[in-house]
């Protein structure tokens, strides 16, 4: 009987260590994310299964062009995936299909978006000056994206992490380096 109880205790120890390990990894390092909707097409489609890196932004600030998952500011229980367009302290202007950025130091440039297919136009006439912890987010499918053009700049506190790996569909497995 004693051998049987020791065997059960060993199995419980292994299960407990596994559960704690998975909890720690999922809470602080990597989180799965299932894309729902067409706002990031053609780069990310509905049904894409991604791994989100939650660690990188603990060591550095988010960068322009990175695709991130964040909590929707008006309903933090909802998660969105979008691309960072504007950084803290910048001014973002969208006019006549062109995205223009004025940096914190006054330098101005038209945003070059090589990740978008030719012919994609950013609709709307918007202007936003970002605060010290705010980012401007846009979906890659500009005509069908609910993004900062609708709800304004997003505070850094809502960022969950950066998209690092697409696992599904298998035909589109890809690691992302920005």
Q: What pLDDT, on the 0 to 100 scale, is given for residue 30?
A: 81
Burial class of 171 by CB neighbour count within 10 A (0 to 12, 13 to 18, 19+): exposed
Which of 2-6, 52-56, 63-67, 80-84 shows the lowest mean pLDDT across its residues? 2-6
Average pLDDT of the residues in 53-70: 96
Please choose, from the candidates 60, 69, 57, the residue with its C-alpha nearest in 3D space to the C-alpha of residue 32: 69
Average pLDDT of the residues in 29-40: 91
Domains of the chain in start order, with CATH, are 2-175 (2.10.109.10)
Q: What pLDDT, on the 0 to 100 scale, is given for residue 18?
A: 80
The string over 37-54, giving b where at least 16 C-beta atoms fall within 10 Å of a residue's C-beta and e elsewhere, is bbbbbebbbeebbbbbbb
């Amino acid at each position: 009987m004693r051998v049987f109880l020791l065997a059960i205790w060993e199995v419980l120890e292994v299960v407990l260590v596994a559960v704690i390990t998975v909890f720690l990894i999922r809470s602080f390092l990597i989180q799965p994310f299932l894309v729902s909707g067409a706002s990031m097409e053609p780069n990310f489609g509905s049904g894409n299964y991604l791994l989100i890196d939650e660690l990188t932004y603990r060591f550095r600030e988010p960068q322009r062009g990175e695709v991130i998952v964040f909590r929707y500011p008006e309903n933090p229980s909802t998660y969105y995936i979008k691309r960072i367009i504007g950084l803290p302290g910048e001014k973002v202007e969208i006019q006549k299909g062109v995205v223009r950025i004025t940096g914190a130091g006054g330098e101005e440039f038209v945003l070059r978006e090589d990740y978008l297919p030719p012919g994609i136009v950013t609709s709307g006439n918007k202007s936003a000056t970002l605060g010290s912890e705010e980012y401007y987010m846009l979906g890659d499918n500009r005509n069908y994206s609910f993004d900062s053009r609708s709800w304004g700049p997003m505070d850094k506190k809502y960022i969950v992490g950066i998209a690092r790996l697409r696992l599904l569909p298998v035909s589109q497995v890809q690691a992302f380096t920005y």
